[in-house]
């Protein structure tokens, strides 16, 4: 067994387990360690490693992270969260408004940042109002994943798929918008049904609420961030400019700031995710260079699984996304998606909507569950799956049928 294959298997074991047994490593450090090992053993030279890295995808991801950090620092997410949570409406209406807001924001901004910014605000307001926060916290996680599938910039894996397969913003939207909207509706319906009769928080078991958050919105910095985001979207839709460069320039503009310290903004960038991308680019590049990807396709085809078939790729992506996580899954399977024009949209929809199945399906889920645990609300694996399973299965079916309908029309 070659060093490349050993490193590949160890790295993807780390992706499945979230680290390596006995070591305090996360997925990003495992991927980085694998990449360094391949370079150290001479399995790839520096030129081949750099060639394996998709700098366009990294530029899109980094730039849009900075725009999202700008809006978070300006108080945009918090102000919107407070506005919705303070409305005098029934819990089911508030749930619908929150899901719609989270879904809209996640379609154009990094869904993980949306979850980080909105979760503590919604939790604090729910406790103050004596409302059971669990349906609303789950709404943030599930709504962020559902809304993110709508556009090519809604999630890291969507950016990667769009960059590698050259998917246009409008072309992808044709396949993904309707499934994303249905996913938000299904999320609301399942949460409302499961939570019926349990909207009120039992006072004897309720933790002490935090001080009621007051929205502090920096209007000028919010406008600045939204204008740059609008320019990026315009460039993506109406020009042929390099998307990675456009997003990088837009993000860099956020650092030219007289109010926010650039170091503080950079500290909020998800560097772990960027490191994960770099590491996996190199590991997967070495795997393909050694010919193992071709061997894998041949073996799977021999047992009746053709990864070049878009329908098969949709199913495999959905399953693996809840085993190895969505970004590693997409990186692993993307080389097989070039032959069928439906493969890209189907992979993006499968990886995003499958994220709602279990807690470890996405970082947004983990963020929300950890925030709830910090306030004494435990969301168990089965407690999450009780909601996530029907949401994920129904929305995956809707997405698949919609893509087929678009093709038929």
Count the neighbouring beta carbons within 10 Å of the beta carbon of residue 128: 15
Specify the residue for token string 């929300």.
Answer: 368
Structural contact between residues 102 and 140, judged by C-beta atoms closer than 8 angstroms: yes
Structural contact between residues 137 and 123, judged by C-beta atoms closer than 8 angstroms: yes
Between 204 and 182, residue with greater pLDDT: 182
- Residue 396: pLDDT band (50, 70, 90) is very high
Report the domain count for the chain.
1
Q: pTM for the full model?
A: 0.87
Cα–Cα–Cα angle for 273, 279, 281, nearest 5°? 100
- Which range of 157-166, 180-189, 274-283, 303-312 scores highest in mean pLDDT? It is 180-189
- The pLDDT assigned to 409 comes to 67
Residue 131 pLDDT exceeds 80: yes
Q: What is the pLDDT of residues 1-24, one digit of tens each?
A: 688 889 999 988 888 888 888 888
Sequence-separated contacts (24+) of 315-321 with Cβ below 8 Å = 315/350, 317/346, 317/347, 317/350, 317/351, 317/354, 318/350, 318/351, 318/353, 318/354, 318/396, 319/354, 321/350, 321/351, 321/354, 321/355, 321/361
- The pLDDT assigned to 315 comes to 92
Residue 210 pLDDT exceeds 60: no
Count the neighbouring beta carbons within 10 Å of the beta carbon of residue 233: 16
The rounded distance, in Å, linking the Cα atoms of 348 and 204 is 44
Residue 208 pLDDT exceeds 60: no
Retrieve residue 112's tokens: 């993980």
- In whole numbers, what is the pLDDT of the chain averaged over residues? 87
Arithmetic mean of pLDDT, 78-103: 85
Arithmetic mean of pLDDT, 110-139: 84
Residues in CB range of 208: below 8 A, 6 or more apart: none
Q: State CA 274 to chain mean position distance.
A: 13
Structural contact between residues 174 and 409, judged by C-beta atoms closer than 8 angstroms: no
Residues in CB range of 88: below 8 A, 6 or more apart: none
Q: What is the pLDDT of residues 272-281, one digit of tens each?
A: 889 988 998 9
Residue 72 pLDDT exceeds 60: yes
- The pLDDT assigned to 246 comes to 94
State the residue range of the domain holding 298: 3-408
| DSSP H or E segment with residue 206 | none
Structural contact between residues 31 and 25, judged by C-beta atoms closer than 8 angstroms: no
């Amino acid at each position: 067994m070659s060093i490349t294959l050993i490193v590949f298997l160890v790295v993807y074991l780390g992706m499945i387990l979230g680290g390596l047994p006995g070591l305090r490593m996360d997925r990003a450090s495992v991927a980085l360690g694998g990449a360094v090992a391949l370079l150290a053993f001479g399995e790839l030279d520096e030129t081949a490693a750099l060639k394996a890295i998709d700098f366009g995808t990294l530029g899109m991801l980094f730039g849009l992270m900075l725009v999202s950090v700008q809006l978070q620092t300006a108080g945009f997410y918090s102000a919107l969260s407070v506005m919705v949570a303070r409305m005098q409406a029934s819990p089911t209406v508030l749930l619908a408004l929150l899901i719609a807001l989270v879904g809209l924001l996640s379609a154009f901004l990094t869904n993980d940042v949306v979850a980080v910014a909105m979760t503590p605000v919604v939790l604090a307001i729910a406790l103050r109002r004596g409302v059971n926060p669990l349906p609303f916290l789950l709404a943030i996680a599930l709504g962020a994943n559902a809304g993110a599938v709508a556009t090519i910039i809604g999630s890291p894996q969507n950016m990667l798929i769009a960059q590698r397969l050259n998917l246009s913003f409008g072309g992808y939207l044709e396949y993904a918008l309707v499934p994303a909207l249905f996913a938000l509706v299904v999320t609301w319906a399942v949460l409302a049904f499961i939570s019926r009769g349990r909207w009120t928080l039992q006072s004897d078991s309720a933790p002490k609420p935090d001080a009621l958050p007051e929205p502090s919105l920096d209007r000028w910095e919010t406008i600045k961030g939204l204008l740059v985001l609008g320019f990026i979207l315009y460039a993506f839709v109406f020009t042929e400019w390099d998307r990675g460069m456009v997003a990088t320039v837009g993000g860099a503009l956020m650092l030219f700031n007289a109010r926010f310290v650039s170091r503080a903004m950079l500290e909020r960038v998800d560097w772990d995710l960027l490191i994960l991308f770099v590491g996996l680019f190199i590991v997967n590049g070495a795997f393909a260079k050694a010919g193992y990807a071709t061997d894998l396709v041949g073996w799977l085809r021999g047992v009746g699984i053709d990864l070049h078939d878009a329908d098969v790729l949709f199913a495999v992506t959905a399953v693996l996304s809840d085993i190895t996580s969505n970004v590693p899954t997409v990186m692993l399977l993307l080389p097989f998606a070039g032959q069928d024009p439906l493969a890209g949209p189907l992979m993006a929809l499968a990886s995003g909507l499958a994220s709602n199945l279990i807690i470890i399906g996405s970082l947004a889920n983990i963020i929300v569950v950890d925030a709830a645990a910090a306030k004494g609300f435990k969301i168990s694996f089965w407690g999450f799956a009780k909601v996530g399973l029907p949401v994920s299965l129904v929305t995956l079916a809707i997405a698949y049928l919609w893509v087929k309908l678009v093709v038929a029309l």
